[in-house]
Amino acid sequence: MRAYERLLNYVKINTESAEGTGTSPSTACQWDLARLLEKELQEMGLQDVRISQYGVVTAVLPATPGHENAPALGFIAHMDTAPAFSGKDVQPLLHENYGGGDIALPNGGIVIRPAQFPELERMTGRTLITANGSTLLGADDKAGIAEIMTLCEELIAENLPHGKLCVAFTPDEEIGEGADHFDVPGFGAKYAYTLDGDLEGGIEYENFNAASAKIEITGVSVHPGSAKDTMENSLLIAMELNAKLPADAIPARTAGYEGFFHLDEMCGDTASCKMAYIIRDHDMEKFEAKKALIEDAVRAVQEAHPKAEIRLNLRDSYYNMSGQLKDCMHLIDNARKAAEQAGLTPVTVPIRGGTDGARLSFMGLPCPNLGTGGFNFHGPYECVSVEGMDSVVAMLKHLVSLYM
């Protein structure tokens, strides 16, 4: 079975995660995919197939005879889809022999345009997979799952030599909890790769330092006709607070190594308001300065509105893994070689986000990230190519051979 065929099955299973549920997985629907993967791994012949009480699926493909001393290599992908856009009732569509130009999806008036998404320019002649416009596709990260499963299947079917391979599929990566219950010693790998990037050939080992800032504002709500010197409108206070952050340090105006403040959510009324930011920067000093800046902004606005109450919950999420990988650069070098052997051009760029691999690298499992063949993740414009997924599987097979 080709990787894209597996993807078509996996995306139909709703695995949308959710913050604040207090459970792992955060949503019960993630168990549906976990159990399917458990069954497929068992049928494929992998060993030690299990699902932990926290929904982490793991399995082992033992080394072929004569390669037992090769370093154990891990491949990891996540099962959940981002809660930012619906992942329920996904209807994948195939666009064969894409001829260029706009792709109009049947629902929601969604059009994927090369002018807006230049990645399409390199897709001419390929078979593309999208959703129908009413949901995301879920290639992030079910494409990664499909590629790992296909890798295992082809290694077995083609009787290809390899060292010990360890496989894991995690829940809740999209809400920053994918590695919360990951048993690194029990996993058994010396090194690993997450399959959670975008276009094929992507090799990533630098990522953002990340924090979340949740702000609750309690104002003073009175009748507007008698509000003079009394009312404290929480929404206006929120706007004042946001205005104290640099206007250019937002996702839409930054790229590469530039960090940002992203106002991800804001809701409320005159009486009370909630704001949720994510804070990102590759450089640790700049990251700490950004956190200090939002603390200063909260403090200043609170002083200006003593009758209101402003509460800040600032929490680190993950850190840049580059420092953890500096002594394991063979992981990057071999990934580049494997990409070239698969006919791909390796591209190394800093991740403007994070992966399970970032946290796992700090937990003692060096774990850079590889592309899956998709792009435009987390929304209705999401797309992946059949040929890109095939190339990723070929790259993984070469990568495995480099560690024997």
Per-residue pLDDT reduced to its tens digit, 309-351: 999 999 998 899 999 999 999 999 999 999 999 999 999 988 8
Asked whether residue 50 falls in the same domain as residue 70, the answer is yes
pLDDT reported for residue 381: 97
Asked whether residue 79 falls in the same domain as residue 151, the answer is yes
Q: How far is CA 302 from CA 112, 233, 234, 240, 379, in A?
A: 44, 13, 11, 11, 36
pLDDT reported for residue 176: 87
Asked whether residue 143 falls in the same domain as residue 273, the answer is no
Asked whether residue 67 falls in the same domain as residue 129, the answer is yes
Residue ending a domain, choose from 283, 318, 353 = 318
Asked whether residue 40 falls in the same domain as residue 155, the answer is yes
The string of DSSP codes covering 317-383 is EE--THHHHTT-THHHHHHHHHHHHTT---B---BSS--HHHHHHHTT----EEE-SEES-SSTT-E
Asked whether residue 164 falls in the same domain as residue 28, the answer is yes
Share of the chain above pLDDT 90, in %: 96
Count: domains in the chain = 2
- Full-model pTM: 0.90
212 vs 291: CA distance, rounded Å: 9
Residue ending a domain, choose from 271, 294, 318 = 318
Asked whether residue 94 falls in the same domain as residue 154, the answer is yes
Asked whether residue 217 falls in the same domain as residue 326, the answer is no
- Give the residue with greater pLDDT, 355 vs 189: 189
373 vs 164: CA distance, rounded Å: 25
**Nearest of 323, 350, 320 to residue 256 by alpha carbon:** 350
Active-site residue, from 16, 38, 147, 173: 173
Active-site residue, from 38, 40, 80, 356: 80
Question: In Å, how far from its chain's centre is CA 183?
Answer: 20
Mind listing the pLDDT tens digit for each residue in 262-294? Answer: 999 999 999 999 999 999 999 999 999 999 999
DSSP state of 247: T
pLDDT reported for residue 84: 85
- Give the residue with greater pLDDT, 190 vs 317: 190
294 vs 292: CA distance, rounded Å: 6
Helices within 202-271 (DSSP H only): 234-243
CATH of the domain at 247: 3.30.70.360
Asked whether residue 87 falls in the same domain as residue 150, the answer is yes
Q: Taking residues 88-97, report their average pLDDT.
A: 97
**pLDDT bucket at 261, cuts 50 / 70 / 90:** very high
**pLDDT bucket at 185, cuts 50 / 70 / 90:** very high
Give the chain's mean pLDDT: 96
User: Is 340 labeled as catalytic in the residue annotation?
Assistant: no
73 vs 368: CA distance, rounded Å: 12
Asked whether residue 353 carries a pLDDT value surpassing 90, the answer given is no
CATH of the domain at 115: 3.40.630.10
Mind listing the pLDDT tens digit for each residue in 95-130? Answer: 999 999 999 999 999 999 999 999 999 999 999 999
Asked whether residue 191 falls in the same domain as residue 270, the answer is no
**pLDDT bucket at 48, cuts 50 / 70 / 90:** very high
pLDDT reported for residue 354: 80
Residue 256 falls in which region: left (phi positive, over 0), alpha (psi -120 to 50) or beta: left
Q: Taking residues 13-17, report their average pLDDT.
A: 98
The first and second tokens of residue 333, run together, are: 């070098």
**pLDDT bucket at 355, cuts 50 / 70 / 90:** confident
pLDDT reported for residue 167: 98
Residue ending a domain, choose from 284, 318, 352 = 318
Asked whether residue 205 carries a pLDDT value surpassing 90, the answer given is yes
Q: 313 has which bridge partners? A: 214
pLDDT reported for residue 301: 98
**Nearest of 203, 192, 196 to residue 354 by alpha carbon:** 196
Which amino acid is it at 398? H
Supply the range of the domain harboring residue 352: 3-206+320-401
Contact 387, 147 (CB under 8 A): no
Asked whether residue 324 falls in the same domain as residue 190, the answer is yes
Q: What angle do CA 150, 92, 102 make, to 5 degrees?
A: 115
User: Is 390 labeled as catalytic in the residue annotation?
Assistant: no
Which amino acid is it at 168? A
Mind listing the pLDDT tens digit for each residue in 144-183? Answer: 999 999 999 999 999 999 999 999 999 999 998 999 999 9
pLDDT reported for residue 192: 98
Asked whether residue 191 falls in the same domain as residue 82, the answer is yes
